[in-house]
Amino acid sequence: MPTNLQQSLHRPAFWKLLTALLLVYIVWGTTYFAIGIAVQSMPPLWMNGSRFALAGALMMAWALSRGEKMPTRLQWRNAAVVGALMVFMAMNLVVFAQKLGIGSGLMATVVTTMPMWLALWTRWGGEHVPLTSWIGLGLGVAGAALLALEGDFSVSWWGALAAFAAPLCWSVGSYASRRLDLPGPAMASAAEWLAGGVLGLVVAWVVEPHDALLNVSTSSWLAWLYLLSFGTLIALNAYLWLLKNTSAAVAGSYSFVNPAVALLVGTGIGHETLTGWVFAALPLIALALAMIMYGPAVVRATTLRKLQTVEM
C-alpha cells in the first residue's frame, strides 16, 4: 500500500480532531468560571470531592465496559497517591484560591506555569531536560513574578498562595504518574479521580457543615453539573483521544488557549477586573510553554537543515 494512502487511512478525520480540540480549548477554558459560580453557595470540598468521585465511578464503569481490567492493589495505591496530589490538593487549591477572591481568568493563567515545575522535577529525578526547557523555565518564572503583581494577588495573599501552590501540586502528581505503575489511561484516570474525590468527601464530612447543601442555589448546581459532565468526563476523554491520535504538542496546545478563553469569559461575562500585569506576564508564560513543548523539536529541525545544507 502506498505510504501516502496508509497515512490518510490512519490519520484521524479533520472534524474529529477539530471537535476534540474545541472541547478541550473551550470547556477547560470555562471551567474556572464555572468553579467560581459553583462555590458561591456550595461547600468547596464537597463540590470538588463529589464531582471527581462520581466522575471516577462513571469513568471506571466505562473503562470496564471496554474490557479494561481493574487496577491491582499496587496500582490502587499509586493511583491514590496521584489522586491525592492532583485531585484533592491541586484542584481544591484552585477552588479555595477562587473562593478567596482570585479571578477565574487569572487562576487559569497561573495554572499554565505547571509545565515549568514539571521540567524541574524531571531534572531532579535524573532525566535529561533540554536547554530549551531550562530557558522556558526561566521565562516562566519571570512571567509568574509579573503575574504576582496583579491586583487580585495583592488583595488576597492566602488566595495567591493557594493559586501558585495548585500547579505545583499538579506537577508533582503528573511527575509521579510517569514514574509509578498505573493501569491504562482511562482506568488510571478513573482510579485517580475516585481516590482523590473520596478523600475530598471524607475531609468535607469532617470540616464542612452537613446542612450546607440545603442552601445551594440552582446556578451553583448547574455549574457543578457542567464541571462533572463537560469539564471532567467529556473534555478529559477528548484530551485522552488527542494524546492517542495526534502529537503531544497538538494535544498540549490547550495550555496556550485556555488562559485566553478564561480571561475573555471572566472579564466579559463575570466582569472581573485586571490591573494590567497579566497582559505583560501572559506573553512570557506563552513563550515559556512554547520553549518547553516545541523547543527540542525546533532545535532538531534546525540542526538537520544545517547538516543537509552542508552536505549539498
Contacts with 5 (C-beta within 8 Å, 6 or more apart), sequence order: none
Mean pLDDT for 303-311 is 69
- Which residue's C-alpha cell is 490512519? 10
Asked if pLDDT for residue 7 goes beyond 70, the answer is: no
Q: What is the pLDDT of residue 8?
A: 42
Residue pair 51/224 in contact by the 8 Å Cβ criterion: yes
Any idea what DSSP says for residue 68?
P
The sign of the torsion formed by the CA atoms of 48, 122, 178, 84 equals negative
- Per the model's pLDDT, the better-predicted residue between 210 and 49 turns out to be 49
d(CA 82, CA 197): 12
Is the pLDDT score of 311 beyond 90? no
Q: Are 166 and 110 in contact (CB under 8 A)?
A: yes
Tell me 305's DSSP state.
H
- Do 246 and 17 contact (CB within 8 A), yes or no? yes
Encode pLDDT of 102-142 as tens digits: 877 778 777 777 777 777 777 776 667 778 777 877 787 77
Type of residue found at 111: V
SS3 content of the chain, % helix, strand, coil (to 5): 80, 0, 20
Q: What is the mean pLDDT of residues 154-178?
A: 83
Q: How confident is the model at residue 45 (pLDDT cuts 50, 70, 90)?
A: very high
Q: What is the mean pLDDT of the chain?
A: 82
The angle that helices 254-268 and 277-311 make with each other, rounded to 10 degrees, is 160
| pLDDT, position 300 | 77
The whole-number pLDDT of residue 9 equals 41
